Amino acid sequence: MKKIKIDPSPNAYRLLNPGAVALISVGDGKADNLFSVTWNMPLKRDPGMVAILSGKGHFSYPYIEKTGEFGINIPSTKIAGAVLGCGRTTGSKVPDKFARFKLTRQVSEKIKAPLVEEAVGNLECRVSQIIDLDASSLIIANILAATVVEDHYKDDGWCYDNGLELLHHLGADSFAVSDHEIDVKIPEQ
């Protein structure tokens, strides 16, 4: 297998991506917004913790600073256009991304921000730490509540038996889809 060298900056991170893209919802009870992130990851199982990366100049960042909360909404391919749109538009020019991209506000249980009804999974998060990375911040949060579409969850994980297709952003307008799982065995010696 022939390998080529690539520039470690700015494209090497794409070897680790595609991670599942997420729609982040923020709000203070009066106003709200949505933005897409591919830089997200689980950190800890018990208690559940996650991290997202957000630019400090993004319209939604002050909501996170002010409320200390956000929602992570896991989209399927059914709302791929909305995911791309939420990532490409700013809340300063599109004041209601839910309406603009035909998404439904789902009332959250533990946070002020709404969740996305059309998402196949939702996490309600409270910020525990913000790590300054100059123009961006790594936001670490505790998971307070979680919901998932019943048909797409089995044995404590995603179930692809009923047509689940999760989105993975590759860059620009390109996405990959995960739509099945495989069982792997360790090779015998």
Residue range 54-105, pLDDT digits in tens: 999 999 999 999 999 999 999 999 999 999 999 999 999 999 999 999 999 9
What pTM was computed for the model? 0.92
Q: Over range 37-50, report the average pLDDT.
A: 91
Count how many domains the chain has: 1
Residue range 2-43, pLDDT digits in tens: 866 666 666 666 656 557 899 999 999 999 999 999 999 999
Residue 58 lies in a domain: yes
DSSP letter string, 40-104: EEEEETTTTEEEEEEETTSTTHHHHHHHSEEEEEE-BGGGHHHHHHHHHS-TTT-S-HHHHTT--
Residue 156 lies in a domain: yes
Cβ partners under 8 Å of residue 123, min gap 6:
48, 50, 71, 72, 73, 74, 143, 145, 146
For 11, the token pair is 């494209």
Provide the domain limits for residue 25. Answer: 15-178
Residue 122 lies in a domain: yes
Residue 186 lies in a domain: no
- Domain containing 84 — which CATH number? 2.30.110.10
Does the structure show a pLDDT above 70 at 112? yes
Residue 188 lies in a domain: no
Residue 24 lies in a domain: yes
The pLDDT value recorded for residue 156 is 86
Residue range 141-166, pLDDT digits in tens: 999 999 999 999 988 888 899 999 99
Residue 2 lies in a domain: no
Residue 74 lies in a domain: yes
